[in-house]
Amino acid sequence: MATKIKFQAIRGTRDLLPPETAVWNRVEQTAHSVFATFGFGEIRVPIFESTDLFARAVGGETDIVSKEMYSFTDGPVGLLQRLDFSNVGQFLDEIAEKLQRDEIPKTAENTLTIERAKEVFAAFKKASGKIPVSAFASSSESDSLKEYTEMAYEAIYLANRISTGDSVSLRPEATASVCRAYIEHNMQQLPQPVKLYCMGPMFRRERPQKGRYRQFYQIDAEVLEAVRKEVASGEWRVASKELAKDAAVDAEVIQMVMTFFDKLELQGVQLDINSIGDRNCRPKYVELLRAELQKVKDKLGPDSQRRIETNPLRVLDSKVKEEQSIIENLPRIGDHLCDECAENYKAVKRELDLRGVKYGENWRLVRGLDYYMRTTFEITAQGLGSQNAVCGGGRYDGLVELLGGPPTKGIGFAIGEDRLILSLQESGKEVASGEWRVASGRLGVDVYVAWMGGSAYATAIRAAKDLRKAGFSVELPPVEQKFGKALGQADKLGAKYALILGENEVASGEWTLKTLADGSQLKLPEPALIDHLRKSKAVSS
């Protein structure tokens, strides 16, 4: 008997099902409309990009790039992907040809590996010719069979090691791609700044837990602005003006995400801000921090000990209980900002105050990615346990240049959509106040068409068509049902109304509408009935 195969979603990924997907749609729709009011346009970037792009932008030392990316080789078309005894020879021939034609990287390692694989495969072919068919049936011949299979496996192993193309990765975040697109499409020639947002899945191989997935969704916004010549040359007259302008841009971006959360009625929202300095003052602070950490190294756990060398700022992120009192006594970046960063930070706070945006200051907020400078912020919400950050962001002047573009300023944020929705659900806010359609836990059927008798079918089809055209969600059963069963079905689906179409209704042109919540009934001609439904929808939404 054939074994039954049971496929399941890969660990750390999940299906989003109706009716929950309606909540996702509502959240995304709200983002589209709120962001548009701030002058942002949507950009859609690819799901995978060159691995080098992320390595350069996010930083080769970060956990994301060094451990968490889903990377694979993007080779020429038509190459066999799953090699076995029977096809490895054909694969090696094709590979040799493609190497000649420069379709795969002509590296010394590739040339050697191909040579060696061909040799092993030739030996395997020679040996396999000598093995009698009986060997496959008798265990006495198992030694020669073993040698034979080992050779084949070695050929397959070597063939799999041939690099057939460039390394690409599923995107772990969106900022790098948006910056790449800004450069690729010469967006520095558009009116500046360029305000973009995007949404979609991101991929990181993290340990899955509540609020942490391997495929998760982000809503991301970025403001990019080409640096004018006089600014790039460091002219002192413009420097101060620029700092003030950057502060206003930062505050507006933060205000936008807070407006979005407000619109969604997200509960327990807390905004924390910090300045982490720039290339001028941060390195000096990091050295000071490292020196101070060395003094207390013995009292720190293994993770923090390691980070003293690799990235001392990340020690400030530590949630380890025993380390908290030590961290509290470490030097704070706020006391070591250069004049420009200090001025800018003050201006950011002033701009937030002007906009009525409430915030807390958290000197330990450093953010995990390499490219941030000056303003950083994080927003937490309720109901999420330890993974309570729903949004992280900050300024990243210089990143575009690092990716080969012109001098450009940047600020942006990424909202964790999974967590945002989890928090909305935990606090019962996944359905906006007064929303008519998306009743929680139920599909949004407005009208169930309970038709009876062959002559009513054509009318039922027409009624469904007209009601759908008027924007109602309609369920039209494909077969005739008895009255009781039809009403039972309508109830199960959570329909608001049943439209009863029997032979009488068809003959008289007066249709019966039953409100399922209270059982009340109404008889009306078709246009009046649609009008009545429209009005009741307007009242309840």
Helix (H) or strand (E) holding 138: none
Question: Residue 344's closest CA among 296, 405, 403, 280?
Answer: 280
426 is an interface residue for ligand AMP by CB under 6 A: no
What does the angle CA 267 – CA 272 – CA 274 come to, to the nearest 5 degrees? 165
In the complex, the smallest distance separating the C-beta of residue 279 from ligand AMP, rounded to whole angstroms, is 21
**CB-wise, 118 or 367, nearer to ligand AMP?**
367
In the DSSP assignment, the letter for residue 5 is P
Q: Are 435 and 487 in contact (CB under 8 A)?
A: no
In the complex, the smallest distance separating the C-beta of residue 395 from ligand AMP, rounded to whole angstroms, is 13
Q: Are 357 and 348 in contact (CB under 8 A)?
A: no
Question: Residue 206's closest CA among 64, 310, 382, 2?
Answer: 64
How many whole angstroms separate alpha carbon 310 and alpha carbon 371?
16
In the complex, the smallest distance separating the C-beta of residue 391 from ligand AMP, rounded to whole angstroms, is 6
Site string for ligand AMP, 363-402 (x = CB under 6 A): -----x--------------------xxxx----------
Where does residue 432 rank: exposed (0-12), middle (13-18), buried (19+ CB within 10 A)? middle
Near ligand AMP by CB under 6 A, which window of 134-142, 415-423, 433-441, 476-484? 415-423
Near ligand AMP by CB under 6 A, which window of 91-99, 213-221, 425-433, 463-471? 213-221
In the DSSP assignment, the letter for residue 187 is G
Among 43, 95, 226, 414, binds ligand AMP (CB under 6 A): 414
**CB-wise, 12 or 477, nearer to ligand AMP?**
12
Q: Are 419 and 390 in contact (CB under 8 A)?
A: yes
**CB-wise, 124 or 216, nearer to ligand AMP?**
216
**CB-wise, 174 or 450, nearer to ligand AMP?**
174
* Torsion from C-alpha of 310, 311, 314, 318, nearest 10 degrees: 30
**CB-wise, 226 or 254, nearer to ligand AMP?**
254
Among 395, 419, 437, 496, binds ligand AMP (CB under 6 A): 419
Q: Are 263 and 378 in contact (CB under 8 A)?
A: no
Positions 130 through 189 that interact with ligand AMP (CB under 6 A): 173
Near ligand AMP by CB under 6 A, which window of 106-114, 212-220, 339-347, 465-473? 212-220
Near ligand AMP by CB under 6 A, which window of 44-52, 254-262, 332-340, 411-419? 411-419
In the complex, the smallest distance separating the C-beta of residue 12 from ligand AMP, rounded to whole angstroms, is 8
User: Hunting for tokens 């929680």 — which residue is that?
Assistant: 440
Positions 30 through 89 that interact with ligand AMP (CB under 6 A): none
177 Cβ contact partners less than 8 Å away, ≥ 6 residues apart: 45, 46, 49, 53, 171
Question: Residue 226's closest CA among 190, 188, 177, 196?
Answer: 188
**CB-wise, 303 or 339, nearer to ligand AMP?**
303
Tokens for 74? Answer: 């993007």
In the complex, the smallest distance separating the C-beta of residue 491 from ligand AMP, rounded to whole angstroms, is 37
**CB-wise, 193 or 392, nearer to ligand AMP?**
392
What crossing angle do the helices spanning 236-263 and 20-37 adopt, rounded to 10°? 150
- Contact residues for ligand AMP, defined by CB under 6 A: 173, 204, 206, 211-213, 216, 218, 368, 389-392, 414, 416, 418-419
